């Protein structure tokens, strides 16, 4: 990279996905405790800084290739340098597991049983703590996303677009270019938060079904990737402004953003249906919330399919069915931090909410 010209939509999409993936990796290392806490925290700090720097560089706010802007690359770069060195020299932390196995091998039957009970209790404690922390992360992320998406889409994009009137749309965007830029940045942050929330929800519902939780997370991450591609179409609008604006091309790119996003919402709807199933079967999330999430997921699926069949002329049902998502965010922040795994001999842990 030699300047701002290289920070086009394609490069930004690649760096956004790389930064989001690095953030998930750092979070997983932090939760699993397989490396030193300081090393995983370096990644948790470095990758968000890298994401912010990449987005700001796209809009010529900072230059990450010269001067102080290079500082945005330092934490993440140090993490990527130190992690392989750590793995080659130390490997993943496993001495506690090996030590526990060797010790239990020397016990008699009663002592072994006691050790297993203590190990199970420790596992439940760690799992409960993981679920609580992930609940707060997911809930806070969902609430922040609702604010950023409201500003980014409803105010900055939809608010400046006049359907069917390319000239008026170009004039409004040119008159409020800073707002439009801020809206694009907000949407990129929403896409990054989608990855974080996907990981957090996977941790929340892993006790119910690890396989389905991972599938739901994968669908949301795939949706986030499509969303980034859609947002890149808005980035192209900025290059069409200036002394010789191209109104038709501007409106075309905005419509392209909407069409790509609508296609991605199929994956998001499927994600919500899986989360609804997990919530309904969990025993600690209210069943009515699981039903509302299912309704929200079906709403997104209906909207995407109806747009494809009617060429965008239908009324969006998801505008009325999204309440389940908002209520889930509130439940995760308020009640999710109280979830505790109870003692159970079954494979599916019985889960209760601490009073």
The most confident of 27-36, 211-220, 339-348, by mean pLDDT: 211-220
Q: Does residue 353 sit in helix, strand or coil?
A: strand
> What's the pTM?
0.65
State residue 292's pLDDT score.
Answer: 94
Alpha-carbon dihedral angle through residues 176, 182, 183, 187, given to the nearest 10 degrees: 160
State residue 227's pLDDT score.
Answer: 92
Q: Do residues 139 and 329 make contact, with C-beta atoms less than 8 angstroms apart?
A: yes
Q: Do residues 213 and 206 make contact, with C-beta atoms less than 8 angstroms apart?
A: yes
pLDDT at 185 over 60: yes
pLDDT (tens digit, 9 = 90+) per residue, 46-58?
Answer: 777 776 666 666 5
Alpha-carbon dihedral angle through residues 181, 187, 188, 192, given to the nearest 10 degrees: 160
Task: Determine which of 3-7, 63-67, 241-245, 286-290 has the lowest per-residue pLDDT on average.
Answer: 3-7
pLDDT at 294 over 90: yes
Mean pLDDT on 248-265: 88
Q: How confident is the model at residue 210 (pLDDT cuts 50, 70, 90)?
A: confident
Beta 339-341 vs 351-353: how paired, if at all?
antiparallel
Provide CB contacts within 8 A for 275, sequence distance 6+. 201, 205, 216, 293, 297, 328
State residue 262's pLDDT score.
Answer: 85
State residue 104's pLDDT score.
Answer: 46
Q: How far apart are CA 355 and CA 344, in angstroms?
A: 19
pLDDT at 272 over 90: yes
Alpha-carbon dihedral angle through residues 204, 209, 212, 217, given to the nearest 10 degrees: 20
> With 0-12 CB in 10 A as exposed, 13-18 as middle and 19+ as buried, what is 194?
buried
Taking the CA of residue 217 as centre, how many other CA atoms within 13 Å lie in the half-sphere pointing to its CB?
21
Task: Determine which of 92-106, 239-253, 336-350 has the lowest per-residue pLDDT on average.
Answer: 92-106
Q: How far apart are CA 157 and CA 181, in angstroms?
A: 10
pLDDT (tens digit, 9 = 90+) per residue, 186-208?
Answer: 999 999 999 999 999 998 888 88
Helix axes 177-205, 37-58, angle to 10 degrees: 150
Scanning the chain, the segments in alpha helix (DSSP H) are: 9-32, 37-58, 74-89, 95-105, 109-149, 166-175, 177-205, 210-239, 247-282, 287-310, 318-321, 323-334
CA angle (24 as vertex; 336, 150 as ends), nearest 5: 65
Q: Which of 316, 307, 275 is nearest to 294 (CA)?
A: 275
Domain spans of the chain, in order of start? 1-93, 113-353
Percent with pLDDT over 90 in the chain: 17
Taking the CA of residue 99 as centre, how many other CA atoms within 13 Å lie in the half-sphere pointing to its CB?
4
State residue 320's pLDDT score.
Answer: 76
pLDDT (tens digit, 9 = 90+) per residue, 19-38?
Answer: 767 777 877 777 677 777 78
pLDDT at 98 over 50: no
């Amino acid at each position: 990279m030699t300047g701002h010209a290289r920070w086009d939509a394609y490069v930004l999409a690649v760096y956004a996905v790389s930064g989001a993936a690095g953030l998930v990796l750092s979070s997983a290392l932090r939760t699993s405790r397989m490396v030193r806490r300081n090393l995983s925290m370096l990644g948790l700090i470095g990758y968000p800084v890298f994401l912010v720097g990449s987005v700001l560089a796209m809009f010529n706010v900072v230059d990450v290739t010269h001067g102080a802007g290079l500082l945005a690359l330092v934490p993440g770069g140090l993490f990527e340098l130190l992690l392989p060195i750590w793995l080659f020299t130390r490997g993943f932390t496993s001495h506690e597991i090996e030590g526990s196995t060797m010790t239990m091998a020397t016990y008699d039957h009663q002592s072994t049983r006691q050790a297993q009970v203590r190990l199970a209790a420790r596992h439940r404690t760690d799992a409960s703590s993981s679920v609580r922390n992930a609940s707060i992360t997911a809930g806070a992320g969902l609430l922040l996303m609702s604010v950023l998406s409201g500003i980014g889409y409803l105010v900055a994009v939809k608010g400046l677009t006049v359907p069917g009137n390319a000239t008026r749309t170009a004039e409004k965007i040119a008159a409020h270019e800073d707002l439009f830029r801020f809206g694009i940045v907000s949407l990129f942050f929403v896409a990054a938060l989608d990855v974080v929330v996907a990981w957090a929800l996977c941790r929340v519902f892993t006790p119910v079904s690890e396989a389905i939780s991972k599938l739901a997370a994968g669908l949301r991450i795939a949706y986030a990737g499509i969303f980034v591609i859609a947002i890149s179409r808005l980035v192209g609008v900025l290059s069409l402004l200036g002394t010789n604006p191209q109104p038709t091309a501007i409106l075309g790119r905005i419509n392209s953003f909407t069409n790509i996003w609508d296609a991605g919402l199929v994956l998001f709807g499927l994600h919500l249906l899986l989360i609804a199933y997990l919530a309904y079967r969990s025993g600690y999330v209210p069943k009515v919330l699981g039903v509302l999430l299912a309704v929200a997921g079906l709403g997104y699926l209906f909207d995407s399919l109806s747009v494809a069949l009617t060429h965008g002329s239908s009324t969006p049902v998801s505008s009325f069915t999204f309440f389940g998502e908002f209520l889930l965010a509130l439940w995760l922040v308020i009640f999710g931090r109280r979830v505790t795994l109870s003692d159970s001999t079954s494979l599916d842990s019985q889960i209760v909410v601490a009073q």
